[in-house]
Every structure is written in C-alpha cells, then in structure tokens.
C-alpha cells in the first residue's frame, strides 16, 4: 500500500535522506525535540520522551496545565503528600474521589472513594512509603454520560504542526477516527460499583 503511494523504506544507516514520516515505538528511539547538530529531522515524528513523560504522569500533567492557565480542562489533581495538607482533604461531603498511580494506565491501581476524607484516610493508612507515586483526583461532576447512562473513555490521535510563519502557536489536527469505550456499568454514585467509575472494570480482559 505504501509503495503504491510512492513511499519507500530508508535504511537507518543512510544519512543522505531524511524520511518525512518516522514513527518508532518509544522503546526503539529517543526522538529529540530538535536536532543537536542543526540537521533536518523527520517532519512527522513522535514527541520526545522528556515531553511525553509530562503527559503520562498525572501529577506533572496537572501541574503544567495549571501553569499554562488551563487547569479547568483537567480534573483537580494533587500529589498524595500535597493532598494530605490540603483543606479539601478533610471535607466529609459525599463526592466521588480517586486515588491513582501517577503513571498508571488502563485503570490499573485506581481506587474509588465516596468523599475526600475517605481518600485521605486511606492515604494515611498507607503511610509515606505506600502512598509514594499516588495522586488524589476529584471526580468530574456531573459526569458526561452516554445515552445509555454510562460514563465513557475516549482516545484520539492528534497532530501538532508549527506554522511556517514562525508563530509559536501550533495548529492541531484531530484524526476523525477516535476510540470511545463505555464503562462496564451504568453510572451510579455508589463507589462500590467499580465498573461504573473505572473504564477497565467490568470489561473482559
């Protein structure tokens, strides 16, 4: 298919040509943000790991969004130790809260609580060593629900392109094909129903 559209594979030892499209796995290569020797880089390439780590780490992501003035696009998030010192951690009002591993994916290591104080109590029980790497996250209220009453998870591929004019604000293009997966159980504020709050719960492995 690629050959039919004029694409061809470039040997990694051939420094004479720079491919327009280069998309290795994260473990295959550490894609730089800019060339160290001033030479060209592939036009379409992954973000460097030093940047994607900030997106993967829930604590770092929340910090950078707040710093950029976009805190409202992300659930309120605290590092475990910061949360224990926060006034909100002592609120008894019924409200959904999560404890998550900062680098957890696919719902691994996610725990749901019926109030901020319940999440705080669990962190205190874990002790400094046990809560290392955890974040506390306020549930989004009211949650966006599918027509059948379920919460949902969405993944999308986006392409950021810097404008030729030198404008530092990039253009963002979102691929029309997105992944939307409904939770395994219709939404309920009952935190004991994990499948209503955690995307991977209730789905076959």
The reported pLDDT for the residue numbered 108 is 67
Dihedral sign for Cα atoms in the order 173, 22, 57, 197:
positive
Identify the residue with better confidence: 41 or 27. Answer: 41
Q: Above 90 in pLDDT, residue 55?
A: no
The reported pLDDT for the residue numbered 109 is 78
Phi, psi (deg, nearest 5) at residue 115? -165, 165
∠ at Cα 13 (7, 14), nearest 5°? 55
Per DSSP, what are the bridge partners of residue 44? 21
**Mean pLDDT throughout 83-110?**
87
Query: What separation in angstroms does the CA of 11 have from each of 19, 20, 33, 46, 128?
Result: 10, 14, 22, 19, 50
The reported pLDDT for the residue numbered 203 is 63
45 C-beta neighbours (distance < 10 Å), count: 17
109 phi-psi bin (left φ>0, alpha ψ -120 to 50, beta other): left
Query: Token digits for 38?
Result: 């001033």
Going by the DSSP 8-state scheme, the letter that residue 21 receives in this structure is B
Q: Above 70 in pLDDT, residue 106?
A: no
Q: Above 60 in pLDDT, residue 16?
A: yes
């Amino acid at each position: 298919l690629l050959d039919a559209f004029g694409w061809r594979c470039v040997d990694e030892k051939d420094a004479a040509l720079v491919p327009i499209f280069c998309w290795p796995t994260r473990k295959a290569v550490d894609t730089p943000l800019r060339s160290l020797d001033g030479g060209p880089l592939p036009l379409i390439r992954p973000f460097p790991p030093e940047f994607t780590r900030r997106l993967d780490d829930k604590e770092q992501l929340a910090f950078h969004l707040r710093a950029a003035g976009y805190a409202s696009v992300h659930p309120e998030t605290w590092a475990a130790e910061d949360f224990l010192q926060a006034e909100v951690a002592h609120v008894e009002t019924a409200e959904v809260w999560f404890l998550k591993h900062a680098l957890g994916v696919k719902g691994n290591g996610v725990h749901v609580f019926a109030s901020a104080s319940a999440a705080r109590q669990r962190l205190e029980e874990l002790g400094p060593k046990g809560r290392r790497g955890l974040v506390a996250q306020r549930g989004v209220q009211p949650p966006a629900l599918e027509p059948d009453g379920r919460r949902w998870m969405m993944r999308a591929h986006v392409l950021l392109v810097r404008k030729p004019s030198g404008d530092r604000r990039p253009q963002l293009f979102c691929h029309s094909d997105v992944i939307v997966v409904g939770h395994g159980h219709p939404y309920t504020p009952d935190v004991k129903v994990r499948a209503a709050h955690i995307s991977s719960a209730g789905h076959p492995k």
